[in-house]
Amino acid sequence: MTDGLHRATRDKRDQPADGFEFLDHPGDLKLRAWGDDLEGLFASAAEGMMAFLFGSGVVDLEPFGTETIEIAAGDREALLVDWLSELLYRAMSEYHAYTEFQMHELTETKLKATAAAAVAQAVEDIKAVTHHELSIRACEDRWEATVVFDT
């Protein structure tokens, strides 16, 4: 993949508690994200999407401010799709990259978070976050999710 994505893709052997990696998918982009808890998982998935859109250097961007994001959805899966869709919409319509995700409230159907916003030009495009093959599951000691993006 692009250099940026190579760096962003973490090595599975020494995976940190929260993280993400990109899996091969014939037509589109598939992301696996994980975290110690659901909050960590949601933050990792967002970090993964931002690393894809803006390259791994996204974490070094200088934020100009913080934005609050609130989502309500029918269930946990829809909440994850809506969370990522909200960030994608803001990124593509405002030309902002987002980092430093802080989850202040997270239930099965509701989410309140803040993220640092920086002005940035995307290096990759994502059309949408899909429900296809979406799963959120509790593994032995962590939470994992896979999300397919239409690129």
The residues binding another protein (CB under 8 A) are 1-2, 22, 24-29, 74, 77-78, 81-82, 85, 89, 92-93, 95, 121-125, 127-134, 148, 150-151
Q: Report the sign of the C-alpha dihedral through residues 26, 19, 131, 113, in that order.
A: negative
Q: Which is nearer to another protein, 59 or 73 (CB)?
A: 73
> What's the Cα-to-Cα distance from 80 to each of 9, 13, 41, 106, rounded to whole Å?
20, 26, 10, 11
Helix axes 76-94, 38-54, angle to 10 degrees: 30
Q: How far is the CB of 7 from another protein (least distance, A)?
A: 14
Q: Which is nearer to another protein, 105 or 125 (CB)?
A: 125
Q: How far is the CB of 31 from another protein (least distance, A)?
A: 12
Block residue for tokens 């593509």: 92
Q: How far apart are the C-alpha atoms of 26 and 35, rounded to whole Å?
A: 26
How far apart, in Å, do the first and last CA atoms of the chain sit?
14
Q: How far is the CB of 140 from another protein (least distance, A)?
A: 26
Q: Which is nearer to another protein, 30 or 142 (CB)?
A: 30
Q: Which is nearer to another protein, 102 or 109 (CB)?
A: 109
Q: How far is the CB of 54 from another protein (least distance, A)?
A: 10
